[in-house]
Chain A
Amino acid sequence: MARTTKLTLKKLDTLHNNGPFPLKILYKTKLEGSGVMPSKLDRYNDAANEIQRLIKETHNQNEGFRAYGSAWSMSNIAHQKDRMHFNAHMNLRSNFMDQDLHALSPYRADNIFMLQCGNTIKEVSEFLEEHGKSLKTTGASNGQTIAGCISTGVHGSALGVGSVQDYVVGINLIIGPDPGDIVYLERHTKPTLNDVFVQKMKARVIRNDGLFNAALVGLGAFGFIHGVVIEAQNIFLLKRYVKKIDKKVALQLAESMDFKNSSFKINGETDSNGKGKTPYHYKIFINQYSKDQSKCVVECIYKKPYVQSYPDPFPIIKESLYGDLINLVIKISQKFPKAIPAFVKMLEKSILPEVNEETTGTLAETFWDAPYQGPAFACSFGVDHKDSSKALELLAELTKSDGPIPGIFAMRFVKQSQATLSFAKFPTTCMIEIDGVLWEKSKKLIGLKEFSTLMIKTLKANGIPFTIHWGKCADWGFKSLVEYMYGDQATTWKTYRSALLSKPMQKLFSNGFLETTGLAKKEDEIPEDLIASLA
């Protein structure tokens, strides 16, 4: 039997010290040993029973329950004031055979993998590599759990791929304590697993595009994500370049995504006509406090076929500044805010990648371990890439007029997601993010909450449609924020949630974040057969 440790706590913090948030009980479940229970599927189902027992225990106490993994989210999206479940030790993973797939599945069995919720991106990447496969993209890091990634819509900057949730093709949810409360969701237009396999998971299958897309970025509110089925692809290499280029050119590329006709070219990354190739990943770094605003640093990564022999990327990739120095600088900055721009400039070399850096590696190597660098903040806005220059200009100006803020801007680009509440909602979404070291409000320095509010007000006042990364810092209580960002999609999401979960379970899987944003609200008008299995 899977075993759960129950800890009585008063508070729980995130990895980046964005809390602490109140908590009563922390559960930690470990799987039954393989010596006692050799079948992975038996251990998976055994873990599901244990989670259902915990849900029942929580429900009997009329309390709330939510899972979390690596605690990387900076908002309180993962937090529940009553009970939380640490799922990192639920890390089974397996591959499939042709006979496990649905007759109408468009996928190849050797690309399909099942991952239990607590697998980190690093564990998944290493597992896939053993099969000659790779994830299509990550959040440009590897410490998040797979369930955490999809719940909050984690993204990298893979122009043609999208976010982590976009290669998920099946979701196994535990939505209550009863036998019928283990469900397996897929798209009916792209079924993956056949009924025989789903029955082995003791699950009830629902093939329904609308429900699947709503649950995909489920914010932890669609129940306990026990496992996901993903589509991987053949392993590939990434060649990464860091260049300092004309800022106008960099921003033109952001707006047009037309690498073919841009004056920006990298030797060896052109087509037979000498035109620039579209990279796999494009990222722009902007130090808004730099005196020279004519240039900026860009990171371009091109996809290459996998070969066994390539230069070791680690000597370059592992270099990073440990946070003590930055923390010291910020402590000084709280008293002398005018020093922040100079400090940011001084630390530019440590914060930004080295110009003219070149590496070749797999996706997992290129986006390797990110060390903890002390308390951190990140605010991340999604805008249509056509609005990216204007939005950047407005937000950068804000950090000068109402700041200074101890962080710098970056822009990443993500293909549109099918998930109902994905912040990658524009055809190509530009994620404008300001990352830095968490600071405390002082008489001379604006607070993060106030700064977050101003950013929302600024974009709204200038008529720029936007979204906000669910796992990052924001004024989530800003009036009608979710309605402004998602319109009817927010209602659609709530309706699917209300249709799938019983009323008591909607309450159990809710939290302060959902209440603040208005997403905890139960929708009463549910169309008949809304969540019927359609295939």
Chain B
Amino acid sequence: MKLSRLFLLILSCFFFSLLLLQSCYSVRIRSEQGAYEPEAPLVREDYYRGMAVVELDTVISIGATSKDFTLLIKRSELCPSAKLHTIEYKNTLGSVLLSAVTFGRKRKVKIKYVCMKDNPN
């Protein structure tokens, strides 16, 4: 009896771990057109090698009367065009829980984005 309970507990832990792993995922969206803003010197060793990447990892607070939130992409050294080429967002169980317990007032934003190369023409 005790053994089967232990087995059930282990099985539950296993499924919960799987659930945790599955809840953490990322989605990448990339424009079919346009060249990316290049990086120099090359420092990244991942999918984004060669690209100037802006990384944002923050929590945004939304007012009680606001329905949604818009993050603006502004001109910067890494993003001189202020136009998007690639964006990747990451979702985690923590971010879902944060949103849930704050009734959507606090939202975790973990994104990477690459801008279009500046077009001087």
Contact = CB atoms under 8 A, between A and B. Distances in A.
Contact of A70 (B33, B38, B48, B80): B38
Chain A interface extent, by class: 35 or more
Nearest to B43: A13
Interface stretch (B53-61, B99-107, B113-121): B113-121
Interface in B18-54: 32-35, 38, 40-42, 45-50
Given A71-B42, A88-B38, A88-B40, A15 B120 contact: no
A143 B118 CA distance: 15
Contacts of B48: 372
B41 A9 contact: yes
A9 B40 CA distance: 11
Interface string B92-113: 0000000000000000000000
Contacts of B35: 120, 122-123
A40 B42 contact: no
B41 A91 contact: no
Grouping DSSP codes into helix (H, G, I), strand (E, B) and loop, the B interface class, with mixed when no group exceeds half, is loop
A320 to B, nearest CB: 11
Contact of A93 (B32, B38, B118, B121): B121
Contacts of B40: 26, 28, 71, 86, 88
A34 to B, nearest CB: 6
B84 to A, nearest CB: 15
A92 interface: yes
B39 to A, nearest CB: 9
Given A7-B41, A371-B47, A372-B47, A91 B120 contact: yes
A7 B42 CA distance: 13
A126 B34 contact: yes
Most buried by B among A13, A31, A94: A13
Given A40-B121, A126-B33, A15 B42 contact: yes
Nearest to A120: B35
Contacts of A30: 80, 118
Given A12-B41, A28-B40, A70-B50, A127 B120 contact: no
Contact of B121 (A12, A26, A92, A120): A92
B29 to A, nearest CB: 12
Contact of A372 (B32, B49, B80): B49
Interface string A312-349: 00100000001000000000000000000000000000
6 contacts: A7-B41, A15-B49, A26-B41, A30-B80, A33-B120, A314-B32
Given A88-B117, A126-B34, 10 more contacts: A7-B41, A9-B41, A26-B41, A30-B80, A43-B120, A70-B38, A88-B40, A91-B119, A120-B117, A123-B35
Q: Considering the complex of A and B, which 8 residue pairs feature the smallest CB-CB distances, nearest first? A: A86-B40, A372-B49, A88-B38, A122-B35, A123-B35, A31-B120, A120-B35, A12-B41
Interface of A: 7, 9, 12-15, 17, 26, 28, 30-31, 33-34, 40, 43, 70-71, 86, 88-89, 91-94, 120, 122-123, 126-127, 143, 314, 322, 368, 371-372, 374
Interface of B: 32-35, 38, 40-42, 45-50, 80, 117-121
